[in-house]
Amino acid sequence: MKAKIYVTLRRGVLDPQGKAITASLGHIGIGGVEDVRVGKYMEVRLHDMGKEEATRRLDEACRRLLANTVIEDYRIEVEG
Amino acid sequence: MKAKIYVTLRRGVLDPQGKAITASLGHIGIGGVEDVRVGKYMEVRLHDMGKEEATRRLDEACRRLLANTVIEDYRIEVEG
């Protein structure tokens, strides 16, 4: 089974990478972009298990390894 | 207006970061995860413009700045 995980900076946390991208887009002539915030996106393949069990394990994975919950939020989407 | 951009490694391109995460999850006792592939996720805020125009600009942004199209694919979702 498959799942997707999105890790994003919490609102209010400065995102220098996103600011650099926003500025660079202007510099290369791509206008109209006001703000970019950069996060991580993970595609996960798991053994078949219940959807709730998969969500429970990935939630633990996010809290313990994949996200820094002081400055980052995460969202889990288990497919099927 | 808002948009989301997903940049992922092309199928067949080795993802050492994903492999490291997969192994680490096993080591900390979170089982059942077969594979993880890591990509980038961007939340973009743009001036109001047509949805097609926004897609066109972000497509150009991906090709010229945000993705390495030799090894990465990208997907753009313009909201509204």
pLDDT in tens, A5-25: 999 999 999 999 999 999 999
Question: How far, CA to CA in Å, does A80 sit from each of A7, A54, A58?
Answer: 21, 11, 15
> How high is the ipTM of this complex?
0.92
Interface test with A, best of B6, B42, B66 (most A CBs within 10 A): B42
Q: What is residue B50's three-state secondary structure?
A: coil
| Chain mean pLDDT for chain B | 97
Chain-chain contact of A57 with B8 (C-beta, under 8 angstroms): no
Distance CA B48, CA A24 (A): 20
Residue A80 pLDDT exceeds 80: no
pLDDT value at residue A60: 98
pLDDT confidence band for B12 (50 / 70 / 90): very high
Interface test with A, best of B1, B6, B27, B33 (most A CBs within 10 A): B33
Chain B interface includes A9 (CB < 8 A): no
pLDDT value at residue B80: 75
Q: Give A2-78's CATH code, choosing from 3.40.50.720, 3.40.50.10440, 3.30.1280.10, 3.40.50.300.
A: 3.30.1280.10
Residue A4 pLDDT exceeds 80: yes
The distance of A70 to chain B (nearest Cα, Å) reads 19
Residue of chain A whose alpha carbon sits nearest to that of B39: A41
* Residues sharing a CB contact under 8 Å with residue B75, sequence separation 6 or more, in sequence order: B5, B6, B8
Chain A interface includes B42 (CB < 8 A): yes
Tokens 């972000």, residue located: B58
Distance CA B5, CA B78 (A): 9
> Are the beta carbons of A22 and A33 closer than 8 angstroms?
yes
- Extents of the domains making up chain B: 2-78
For the record, the structure tokens of A11 come out as: 């609102």
